[in-house]
Structure 1
Amino acid sequence: MDVTGQVAAVTGGAGGIGRAIARRLVENGCRVVVSDLDTGRIAEVVDELESIAPGRIAGHVGDCADEADLARLLADAERRFGPVELFVANAGIGPGAGLDAPDAEWTAALEVNVLAHVRAARLLLPGWLERGRGHFVVTASAAGLLTQIGSPTYSVTKHAAVGFAEWLSVTYGDRGIGVSCLCPMGVDTAMLRGEPSAGGSGSDTGTGAGSGTGADAGALSQALRAVTGAGRVLDPLDVADALLDGLRDERFLVLPHPEVLEFYRRKGADYDRWLAGMRRYQQSLA
C-alpha cells in the first residue's frame, strides 16, 4: 500500500504511538486527521505537523469509543480531505488492577480497546466495500499474542483486538479491504511510564503497560516491570516506521519487536511449557 495521497484518521493521536504514526504519515504524503479527547495536545500535534506538511493535517476532539463521535470524525475528515481510506484505531487504555479490577475498569478497557474498533469498522466498511478499497489498522500489543502479566483487563482486551483484526481480514480481505495488526512490546510513552492519560479514555496509547482506572499499584508496577524486562523499549517513531513498512508490504502482523514472533512460535509449539515459563518470569518480578 502506498500511503501517498491517502486520507487517514488516527485515534489516540495526541501522544505516544498515535502522534508518531500521524507524523510519519504526513511525512510520506498522507492527509491526516488526528483524534483525541485532549483539546490542548491535539492543537500541539496539529501545529507541529502543519509546519511539516502545510494543509495536510487537521485535529478532531472526540471519544474513539463513542459511535457518534466516530461518525463526526469520519465526516470531518471527508469534508476536509475526502473519504478516509486508512483508519488507524490506535487509542487504548493500558493495564490496571489484577483480578480485583472493578467492573467499571473492565468496561472501560473493552469499550476503548475493542468496541471502538468494531464501531469504526461498522461505519467504514460500507463505503470501503462500495469503492473496493480501504485499510484498517488495529494497534493491539504483544500482549494480544502472548499475555500481560499483572493485568487481565489489558491481556484479554488486546487478545480480543487481535481477534477482531483477524476476523476483518478473513471476512473482507478478498474484497479489497486490507487489515494490519500492530503488536509492539514496550514503547517509551506516558503509558509505559505509568502516567495517567491526559485526556481520559482513549487519549494515549503506547502499548506495554500503563495507567488504568483505579489501577492497583502492585499490579501496575508488576505489569510495567514485565514489559521493560522483556526486551528493548522503543521510541514511538520506531513503531511508526515499522507500521509504514508493514503497510507498504501489506502485511497483517506488524511486529516492531521481531523477537515477539519467536515468543509466539514457542507458545504455539508447546503451550504448557510456555505457560510454565511465563509463571517463572512472573515469580522473578515479585
Structure 2
Amino acid sequence: MKLRDKVVVITGSGGGIGAACARRFADEGAKVVVTDVDSDGVTRVASELATVGLAVDITEEGSVHAVAELARRTYGQIDIWFSNAGYAGPPRAGDLSDDQLWQLNWQLHVMSHVYAAREVLPAMLDRGDGYLLQTASVVALALHPDKPAYSVTKHAALSFSEWLAATYRRRGIKVSCFCPGPMLTPMLMADGVPPDHPIVKTAATPEQVADRLVDAIDVERFLILDSPLGQDCLTAKATDYEQWVQDMAQQTTA
C-alpha cells in the first residue's frame, strides 16, 4: 500500500518510533493523526506536522473511539491504524506477583489492538480495503527473561495479528506485525543499558526503523523484522526447540 493521501492513525506517536513514523509517513504524503498518553509529545509532533492529535490512554476503548472520531472528522475514513504504543517497564526477574503490571501490559499490548480492530474493521470491510499494523517486539519470537508480563503479552500481540491476517486477508484487509529488536529509544535507555553496551552500538535509530516500515507497508509484508535476531529466533525454535529453551534458561537472572 502506498502512503500518499492515506489517513493514518499512529498510537504512541508522541515520541520514539511513533514520532519518527509520523514524520516519515507524512513525508510520503499520508494524513497522520497523532495520539499518545504524553500530551506534550502529542502537541509537539502534531504541531510540527500541521495535523491533529489527541492525548489519551488507548488502554480504554472509549479513548480509541475518540481518536478514530477525530481522524474521521478531520480527514475521512481511516486507511491505516498503526497500533504502536507499548510499555516495557523495568527488569523484574521472575516477578509474577504484580497484578497491576500484568494488567497494564495486557491492556496496552493486546486489548488496545483489539479495540482498534473493533473500531476500524467494519468500515474497512465495507470498502474491501484497509491496513492494520501492530508493533509487537522481537520478544514475541523469543522472550525477555526478566520481563514475564512483557514477553507473554507481546506473544499474544503477534498471535492476534496472525489471526487478523488469516481471517480478513481474503476480504482486502492488509495486516502487518512489526517485531523490532533493540532500538535507540527512551524505552531501551530505561532498561538501564549502558551507552557502551554492544546492543546500543548495533541498535537502529527510530528514523531507520521508519524507513524500513515504509518499505514493508509498500509490499504489504506480514512479519516485519529490522534485524537478523528475529529470524534467528524462529530458526532456532524450528530446528531444536529443546535447545532453544535451554539457551534461554542460561540467560535468565531469576
Relative to the length of structure 2, the TM-score reads 0.93
Partner of 2:94: 99
Query: Equivalences for 1:1-286 in 2 at 5 Å?
Result: 1-50=1-50, 57-96=51-90, 97-100=92-95, 101-194=97-190, 210=191, 224=193, 232-282=202-252
The structural deviation recorded for 1:239 is 1.2
Distance 1:280 1:88 in 2: 35
Equivalent residues of 1:238, 1:256 under 8 A apart: no
Equivalent residues of 1:95, 1:153 under 8 A apart: no
Q: Deviations over 1:87-138 (max 9, x none)?
A: 0000111144233341011001100011000111011111110111110011
The structural deviation recorded for 1:229 is 5.1
Q: Deviations over 1:228-281 (max 9, x none)?
A: 656821101111111111101110000011332122111221111112222234
Q: Partner letter of residue 261 of structure 1? A: Q
| 5+ residue gaps, structure 1 | 51-56, 195-209, 211-220
Q: RMSD of the TM alignment (CA)?
A: 1.7
Q: Partner letter of residue 164 of structure 1? A: F
Q: Partner letter of residue 82 of structure 2? A: V
- Structure 1 residues 39-48 or 134-143, which shifts more? 39-48
Distance 2:102 2:235 in 1: 29
Q: Deviations over 1:133-171 (max 9, x none)?
A: 110011000001111121001100100000000000000
Residue aligned with 2:88, SS:
coil
Equivalent residues of 1:139, 1:182 under 8 A apart: yes
- Structure 1 residues 230-239 or 67-76, which shifts more? 230-239
Q: Partner letter of residue 174 of structure 2? A: G
Residue aligned with 2:65, SS:
helix
Q: Deviations over 1:15-70 (max 9, x none)?
A: 111111111110000000010122111111122223xxxxxx22111111111111
Equivalent residues of 2:26, 2:49 under 8 A apart: yes
Q: Partner letter of residue 158 of structure 2? A: V
Distance 1:259 1:107 in 2: 28
Equivalent residues of 2:93, 2:252 under 8 A apart: no
Aligned pairs, number: 249
- Structure 1 residues 259-268 or 147-156, which shifts more? 259-268
Distance 2:179 2:88 in 1: 14
